[in-house]
Amino acid sequence: MPARSSDTAQSPDGTTRSPHDTTRSPDGERPPDAQAFPAAPPHRALHGRPFRLAFPPVSGMLRPRLVLTGVLVAAGAFLLFCWGLTLGDYPVALMDVVRALGGAGEPGTVVVVQDLRLPRALTGLLVGIAFGVSGAVFQTMTRNALASPDMIGLTEGAGTAVVAAVVLGWTGGLGLSTLGLLGALGTALLVYALAWKGGTTGYRIILVGIGVSWICTSATDFLVARGSRFQAEEAVGWLVGNLNGRTWDQVDTLALALAVLLPVTLGMGRWMRTLQLGDDVAAGLGTPVQTVRLALLLAGVGLVAFGTAAAGPVAFVALACPQIAQRLAGTASPPPIVSGLTGALVVLGSDLLAREAIPGTELPVGIVTGALGAPVLLWLLIRANRAGSGG
Amino acid sequence: MSTTDPRAPRTSRPSGPSGPKPGAGVPRPSDADAVAMGAIRPPSAGPELRARDLHLAYDGRSVVEDLDLSVPTGRITAIVGANACGKSTLLRALARLLTPRQGVVELDGVALRSVPTRELARTLGILPQTPVAPEGLTVFDLVGRGRSPHQTWWRQWSQADEEAVHGALAATGLTDLADRPVDELSGGQRQRAWIAMAVAQGTPVLLLDEPTTYLDLAHQIDVLDLITDLNRREGRTVVMVLHDLNQACRYADHVIAMKAGRIVAEGAPAEVVTEATVEDVFDLRCRITPDPVSGTPLVIPLGRHHHDGDARAQDARPAAIVD
């Protein structure tokens, strides 16, 4: 092909007339060997594979690596889900668990699996999805990996509400879960209101959120210090995040919330992608920026609030899982669905560890996610840096 | 479809027998370029963008006052002026990124605020100053996002989307870099990637806020040539904020000079860029000679140390530098 000659052609007017000849880029960012980037066919694997149906006129882009990652993570989460169901005073084989899930097998096993163990496993699964998706939403919306719900005060606010109720003995007839939910929602409202200045920006939400988060943490610490030992234990037990003794009630509430919030969130995926380019560019591309940001904020807050209500503030899932998912899938932003699945994988895996790591002791899941999630994230960051691609 | 052309047309221009043509400096599209640009549907007679009695303010601080403006359709308009004269603010208002405190911006006679968001995004593209792409986003994906006003949640990658993206990549000479992350490109390439996104958006009107900021001279010319191509071949209306008066004179058909939120002069470059106007707008004395290449006005600034053929300029230098 004639590319070689033209690439190096030094025409008399070359200095002013072939500006796109990138070889003369003074930044020298283009490798000297221009042939290292050979001609590519119109559909490259990296771009994904376009698919189009004549009728209905549906089209889109399939990204093989994203899909593969999603399938693998989902399979892993399902395996851990079933594995968790085998554990307990009455051991059940893995295959029997799968059968019992479908209502088949020994009636006793079905009761143990479906009535006693399923609520805990399902709570772990749904909480993981809720936190993972919520983290992806916040990180995408604010264009900042630090903007997870546990960084901008939502989980802290939930904690403060619950601890205040426990220590001050004032629950208003509401359960701790409901109080956690209200705490998270109230804090979100406060952060949004304080960050509002003729519209909000992601940056301002993070800054205000971190401030509010510390206020809530201080308030929680104050309340725990003032409370009696028994009260403090109860409060701290809730604060670390826990899957022990979940019931179908909690599962139902969470499942219902997810059934509403997940479609809403995923439906805004297209706008999340434009919002990532900055508010002005997004608006120029036809994104109703403030409306979408508020809707995303509400959906993200809802997810994290219901998740927190069901299991307490399980540390690190919302922060780390979207980042893990992004690196596994090789995307430029946290992919919402895979983030959710990764969240489920991490929470279920952590719960297994929490129950099995120390014989005879059952740790709260939040301790394990914190201890486990942080190194995984650090490892991914370091690896990405060494490879010269990540931050 | 030009995408099967392995090389970006702009990089491989004179590979045929025609060879590199002599005769420097005059923008002259090659045939290969024209084919590449043809991939994008050229907008028909473009829409009219005008502002009437415009008052713009940030947080109660008035920036632009009582401004009337009619953007020449199918032409390149450059807005020039000193820092903080309101030129970027005006551009933001023209793109509906800023709501006027008073007055109205109209697109084909319809107030901008009542144009549906999606329709506006199909008519009017805006490239803000130094936009930032998320880390790891490839050029292809960035350019693809320019298509979002044409997409719905069920139709996310139509044939038209694909053609527009490949056409935009070819037009900006980025076909070979399509798989590279935007943040790994050089400044000039990165700016071209953003312009490619705006090209893929396929809007008949393109608003650009200082598209040459932070670029070295060669890349500035590169970007301005590209913008000229978009205008000449596809008839897109371009409004851009520029800092360099000489570039504005060379590349714009219509120059708007602003000072303190008002339009001081507008018209053809030769009418607007005069010694008197430059002194008024920039508070800078200058000489103006015809540009030896384009014949447009060339501004030679005077400073405290440099006066017209004036020996005092020599005297003003410190002795150490004189010899």
User: Mind listing the pLDDT tens digit for each residue in B276-315?
Assistant: 999 999 999 999 999 999 999 999 999 888 876 654 445 4
Return the structure tokens found at B73.
Answer: 């359709």
Residue A218 has phi, psi (to 5 degrees) of -60, -45
Residue B259 has phi, psi (to 5 degrees) of -145, 130
Return the structure tokens found at B214.
Answer: 């932070």
Contact check, Cβ <8 Å, A46/B221: no
Q: Which residues in chain A touch residue B137, judged by CB atoms under 8 angstroms apart?
A: 276, 332-333
- More confident site: A170 or A28: A170
What is the share, in percent, of chain A residues with pLDDT greater than 70?
Answer: 85
Q: Is the pLDDT of residue A138 over 60?
A: yes
Query: Which pLDDT score is estimated for B67?
Result: 93
Position A178 confidence tier, pLDDT thresholds 50, 70, 90: confident
pLDDT per residue as tens digits for the range B22-70: 333 334 344 444 444 444 444 446 799 999 999 999 888 899 999 999 9
* CATH top-level class of A63-386: mainly alpha
Q: Is the pLDDT of residue B86 over 70?
A: yes
Q: Are A118 and A271 in contact (CB under 8 A)?
A: no
Mutate to test the interface with B, among A277, A287, A289, A333 (most CBs of B within 10 A): A277
- The pTM of this model reads 0.79
Mutate to test the interface with A, among B156, B158, B203, B207 (most CBs of A within 10 A): B156
Rounded CA gap, A298 and A206, in Å? 15
From B237's Cα to the closest Cα of chain A, the distance in A is: 16
Position B18 confidence tier, pLDDT thresholds 50, 70, 90: very low
> For the CA atoms of A73, A77, A83, A89, what is the dihedral angle to 10 degrees?
150
Window 67-126 of A, Cβ < 8 Å to B: none
pLDDT per residue as tens digits for the range A54-105: 777 777 778 889 999 999 999 999 999 999 999 888 888 888 888 888 888 8
Contact check, Cβ <8 Å, A61/B156: yes
Which residues lie closer than 8 Å to B79 by C-beta, 6 or more apart?
B87, B90, B91, B239, B240, B241, B242, B256, B258
What DSSP state is assigned to residue A116?
Answer: I
From A314's Cα to the closest Cα of chain B, the distance in A is: 28
Rounded CA gap, B17 and B33, in Å? 16
Listed by start position, the domains of chain A span: 63-386
Q: Is the pLDDT of residue A38 over 80?
A: no
Which residues lie closer than 8 Å to A68 by C-beta, 6 or more apart?
none
For chain B, list the strands marked E by DSSP. 49-58, 61-71, 76-81, 102-107, 110-111, 124-127, 205-209, 237-241, 254-259, 262-267, 286-290, 297-301
Contact check, Cβ <8 Å, A17/B121: no
Query: Which pLDDT score is estimated for A49?
Result: 76
Nearest CA in chain A to B3: A42
Window 326-355 of A, Cβ < 8 Å to B: 331-333
pLDDT per residue as tens digits for the range A306-350: 998 888 888 889 988 999 999 899 888 899 999 999 999 999 999
pLDDT per residue as tens digits for the range A361-386: 888 888 888 888 778 777 767 766 55
Q: Are B137 and A332 in contact (CB under 8 A)?
A: yes
Contact check, Cβ <8 Å, B186/A287: no
Contact check, Cβ <8 Å, A9/B14: yes
Which residues lie closer than 8 Å to B111 by C-beta, 6 or more apart?
B104, B105
Nearest CA in chain B to A61: B157
Contact check, Cβ <8 Å, A46/B179: yes
**A7 touching chain B per CB within 8 A:** yes
Instruction: Tokens 């320019």: give the residue.
Output: B146
Position A7 confidence tier, pLDDT thresholds 50, 70, 90: very low
Q: Which residues in chain B touch residue A12, judged by CB atoms under 8 angstroms apart?
A: 20, 22, 24
Q: Are B196 and B174 in contact (CB under 8 A)?
A: yes
Query: Which pLDDT score is estimated for B63?
Result: 92
Rounded CA gap, B163 and B145, in Å? 13
Residue B255 has phi, psi (to 5 degrees) of -115, 135
